[in-house]
Amino acid sequence: MDMMAIDIKDLKKKYSDFELGSIDLEIPRGIIVGLIGENGAGKTTLIKSILNIINKDTGTIKIFGKDYKEFETEIKEDIGVVLDEEFFPELLCARDINLVMKDIYKNWDRKLFYKYLTDFQIKDNQAIKTLSKGMKKKLEIATALAHHPKLLILDEPTSGLDPVVRGEVLDIFMDFLKDEENTVLLSTHITSDLEHIADRIVFIDKGCKVLDKDREELFDNYGILRCDNESLGKINQEDIVSYKKNKYDVSVLVNDIKKCRKKYNDFVIDKITLEELMVLMIKGGK
């Protein structure tokens, strides 16, 4: 059994105004990987390349050790997908979704699908167009999970949801991971969703992978040193990943918080958040 859920080598995709790549990415089974980056950074292009929705220019993409193009029918059975855009016709209802999906997936589980409908309080005869955004998203998640996938690929699954519903949805993903063979790739701009549930963080900027770290390693090592503009010159360049001048102070991103706390004990050095990390790596200078 291949230990890699996703294995990408030298992936490139070029448009007239944007280029993704070259991307190398290995995602082992049994973890949740958070994919972060600005809108337009390439997250959705990467996901659609993995799912063979768009054709890559170069590189290889393997799911559970198999090439998607060669084994598309077989691989689709093992993948549950929730994309940012709504993909169910609005005149359908959940009952219709069940009838359609049972003919698409060999492992479609009507009982499990209806259990999710009950848990999510979705009536099976209610037209999708009458559902709230949160309910539509829950229906998509129920559909993605009801054929017993081994890999969930999620593009902004909590976008536009209120905090309570977001929490419920994240709990569902954590339950999915209780089977240690299952894997989640979760792309989101709501970085706080990832700070407690992701095992690994992959950061894409302008089509390039700029960071790929275990969550614990990232939060143990990275920090923000805060100083005034005049004191910035006292910080060794080798200790600075990037910095950003604010109205009243300077935020300096450092990647060895323990060393810097000893070395610069006159300055406040805070733990990092993913949002701050993104801002400093994208907008900061060196």
pLDDT band of 227, cuts 50, 70, 90: very high
Q: Are residues 139 and 252 in the same domain?
A: no
pLDDT tens by residue, 228-279:
999 999 999 999 999 999 988 999 999 999 999 999 999 999 999 999 999 9
The domain in which residue 115 lies consists of 4-217
pLDDT tens by residue, 19-56:
998 999 999 999 999 999 998 899 999 999 999 899 99
Q: Are residues 190 and 277 in the same domain?
A: no
Higher pLDDT, 204 or 21: 204
Q: Are residues 133 and 170 in the same domain?
A: yes
Q: What is the pLDDT of residue 35?
A: 97
Q: Is the pLDDT reported for residue 1 higher than 70?
A: no
Q: Are residues 58 and 118 in the same domain?
A: yes
Domain count, the chain: 2
pLDDT band of 137, cuts 50, 70, 90: confident
Cα-flanking dihedrals φ and ψ of residue 255, to 5°?
Answer: -110, 15
Q: Are residues 134 and 53 in the same domain?
A: yes
Q: Are residues 152 and 47 in the same domain?
A: yes
Q: Are residues 98 and 229 in the same domain?
A: no
Q: Are residues 80 and 133 in the same domain?
A: yes
Q: Are residues 63 and 145 in the same domain?
A: yes
Q: Is the pLDDT reported for residue 2 higher than 70?
A: no
Query: Rounded to whole angstroms, how far apart are CA atoms 155 and 162?
Result: 17
Residues contacting residue 11 through CB under 8 Å, at least 6 positions apart: 20, 21, 22, 23, 24, 25, 46, 49, 56, 58, 59, 60, 61
Q: Which CATH number goes with the domain that contains 195?
A: 3.40.50.300
